[in-house]
Structure 1
């Protein structure tokens, strides 16, 4: 047998041996690699494009936080909305936006002397509010910078969405809304009224 024939036979044997090794490794699961991102955690699955994330928000009542009219200085009040994630996946809850409508119902009595506007009221500039999420585990998350004390409603509605709070499947969170009209408020708001509505949103967690 010539040397070229022996070389080709040895080459075929080597290729067959390599093929057997590759098939054995594939059968053992070696050779399949998944690179997890830095944010991934063991045991946490990130939905793919073909999977559906199921988060759903349910409120125990309408989401109107305040409907104020004919309120006087030193008045106060509160409103609680209970929100629940009725889906199967965890999410984060925020106030996505707030909608404020102000009305000035005509100039009457003492207000005539200090306000001659007929467009919109000034009540939101004087009304101080505090908002916070209260979770079932006792965590309180102050919203719109009101953790250090109440702020004018006009400032709050001028900001973007609120801070977020985690909301697991089946769990609920309470939004606590409190307001007060300071005692030293003048007659400029006497005939004013306003309505404040909130839009809540729950989004799937980004794992």
Structure 2
């Protein structure tokens, strides 16, 4: 199974993607890119805000690489190994969170949960796309102005919450924990 994980599934791409994410976050720092808003004018978002998608794309790439005939006769459950790999990815993201910001780890859990749920009904490419579209929608639609005229986030834009928000952490953890059994169940599409 080690050869299968390294050669077929290519799980080594996930830690490599995490190194790329950490490097990008450290290099760009708090640099912001202009983002249009629906409330008029241009807003901005930190470039590092979109980096969880890189990790999700790497993970979906690994999950997409399959040999169904080999998996059917494998002694170990490949689905169980996939679940472990997803959990290890989240743990690695939390370890990297100390270097790049804890909201990175929370957002990885959040977009990964959405990607796993999308993968259940569609495929890995759609799952990666949905995770990016979710972050873009949060930036475009999830910001508003408070009574003082300061930019704030709406209640549903969980990925925009500050890193210390317990609500955002609880929502992200709950969604991730709910998505794991659903994504790898026997009734999942194509699996």
Q: With the length of structure 2 as denominator, give the TM-score of the two structures.
A: 0.31
Bigger relative contact order, structure 1 or 2 (CA pairs below 8 A, ≥6 apart) = 1
More strand by share: 1
Please, what TM-score do these two structures have when normalized by structure 1? 0.29
Structure (1 or 2) with the greater helix fraction? 2
Q: Which has the larger radius of gyration?
A: 1
